[in-house]
């Protein structure tokens, strides 16, 4: 549950003052907000402070205010195969009902703080769900050379190394053809 202590000046805190409490009243907003810190998984996330574009609809319902929205956000991360920096964008949608009263709400539900609500948790949850655990710079990224570590996309075509397999080296003369006398 949202603690009853929202800062009205915090960028992700939105006032529902204009909406009133009459069910059916609706209001649309377009907002550009700075991305909060620490939204991401290991290899990719939202750069802190980046512009997030939100289109939201606030709708008064019996129990509270229903927020339905989409957010477009830049992403920055690292290719899981070749470790190149990746920058991309994603669009997520979210919906959250903010209850007027804790009595109507369950443990995990969100609450209004007077006329204020905080969009950040809903945005955060929606983004984290869409992030790939193994982001790639391109679908056919072939990663790094297992011998020398060069990024294969930057290497000469057919990049490779002359490697003599240790097992073959053994077979080339070191092991007798017939070693049936294994008595000890």
Q: Nearer Cβ to Zn ion, position 36 or 77?
A: 77
- Of 68-76, 94-102, 146-154, 176-184, the segment contacting Zn ion by CB under 5 A is 146-154
Residue matched to tokens 């805190």: 13
Contact call for residues 56 and 69 (beta carbons, < 8 A)? yes
N- to C-terminal Cα distance for the chain?
A: 75
- Under rule CB under 5 A, which residues in 102-141 are in contact with Zn ion? 137, 141
Cα–Cα dist 51/35, whole Å: 6
Cα–Cα dist 82/86, whole Å: 10
Site string for Zn ion, 20-59 (x = CB under 5 A): ----------------------------------------
Interface with Zn ion, residue 145, by CB under 5 A? yes
Q: Nearer Cβ to Zn ion, position 44 or 71?
A: 44
90 forms bridges with which residues in the sheet?
73
- Enter the DSSP assignment of 113: B
Longest Cα–Cα distance of the chain, Å, equals: 96
- Count how many residues are written for the chain: 184
In degrees and rounded to multiples of 5, residue 56 shows phi and psi of -125, 155
Q: Nearer Cβ to Zn ion, position 13 or 141?
A: 141
Q: Nearer Cβ to Zn ion, position 10 or 141?
A: 141
| Contacting residue, 79, 92, 112, 122, with Zn ion by CB under 5 A | 79
Q: Quote the least distance from Cβ 148 to Zn ion, whole Å.
A: 3
Which residues, 6 or more positions from 22, have their beta carbon under 8 angstroms from its beta carbon? 60
| Contacting residue, 45, 81, 105, 111, with Zn ion by CB under 5 A | 81
Q: Nearer Cβ to Zn ion, position 85 or 108?
A: 85
Query: What residues make contact with Zn ion under the rule CB under 5 A?
Result: 79, 81-82, 84, 137, 141, 145, 147-148
């Amino acid at each position: 549950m949202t603690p009853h202590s929202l800062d009205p000046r915090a960028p992700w805190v939105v006032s529902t003052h204009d909406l009133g409490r009459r069910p059916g009243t609706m209001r649309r907003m377009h907002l550009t907000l700075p991305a909060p810190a620490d939204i991401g998984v290991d290899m990719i996330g939202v750069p802190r402070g980046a512009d997030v574009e939100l289109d939201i609809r606030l709708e008064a319902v019996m129990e509270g205010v229903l927020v339905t929205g989409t957010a477009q956000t830049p992403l920055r991360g690292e290719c899981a195969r070749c470790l190149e920096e990746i920058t991309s964008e994603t669009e997520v949608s979210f919906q959250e009902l903010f209850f007027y009263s804790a009595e109507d709400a369950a443990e995990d539900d969100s609450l209004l703080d007077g006329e204020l609500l905080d969009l950040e948790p809903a945005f955060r949850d929606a983004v984290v769900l869409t992030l790939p655990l193994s982001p790639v710079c391109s679908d056919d990224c072939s990663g790094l050379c297992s011998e020398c570590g060069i990024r294969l996309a930057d290497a000469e075509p057919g990049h490779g190394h002359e490697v003599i397999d240790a097992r073959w080296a053994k077979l080339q003369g070191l092991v007798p053809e017939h070693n049936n006398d294994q008595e000890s």
